[in-house]
Amino acid sequence: MVKLRRAVFLDRDGVINKPFVKDGKSYPPSSLEEFELLPGVVQAINNLKSAGYAVVVVTNQPDVATGKQKLEVVESFHRQLSQQVDIDLIKVCYHTDGDDCSCRKPRPGMLLEAAEELGIDLGKSFLVGDRWRDIESGQRAGCGTFFIDYGYAERRPEPPYTAVESLAQASRAILETKAESS
């Protein structure tokens, strides 16, 4: 029997890179010049990788479908991210809610696809996000969830989740969980 891997799924904007907040709502950077990793992200991901976790980015990017963002710009973000940190896989949903797809968070499609592609045990994996959609997606996939609460003016996630202040704090908690279960 093949042993499945543990993974940490990361939302992109607000977890890995700096989001732009206007009127209490989070927006992605609009150009590569604005794409800036948050403090502690590189070390947090390196620590997770060293502990044997696969690291998978799962991000909704509906601005491509609506014409507010060019696909090439989003892809340039991901190329730069992959040069700065060791990411196993980046999954992107370019759909809007109206497309009724299975990949757009809060649905768990991107997590399920990544689990199939990389041999991930979702029940021993975690998701770190900064919006209710992220947390619900992780919950639906059977992952433990960590919520970075920036106080956005939007719906809040439903429990259970662990509230954290950053990816660095979430990674420390995940690594403590792994140590306790070893």
Active-site position among 13, 23, 63, 100: 13
Q: Within a 13 Å sphere around the CA of 102, how many CA atoms are in the beta-carbon half?
A: 6
Contacts of 100 (CB under 8 A, 6+ apart): none
What is the number of helices (H) and of strands (E) in the chain?
6, 8
Annotated catalytic residue, options 11, 23, 97, 100: 11
The answer to whether residue 11 is catalytic is yes
* Helix/strand/coil percent split, the chain, to 5: 40, 20, 40
Three-state secondary structure readout of 126-144: EEEECCHHHHHHHHHHCCE
Using left for φ > 0, alpha for ψ between -120 and 50, and beta otherwise, residue 119 falls in left
Quick check: is 88 catalytic? no
Tell me which residue has tokens 């770190």.
128
Q: Looking at this protein, which amino acid is placed at residue 72?
A: E
Residues annotated as catalytic (active site), given as ranges: 11, 13
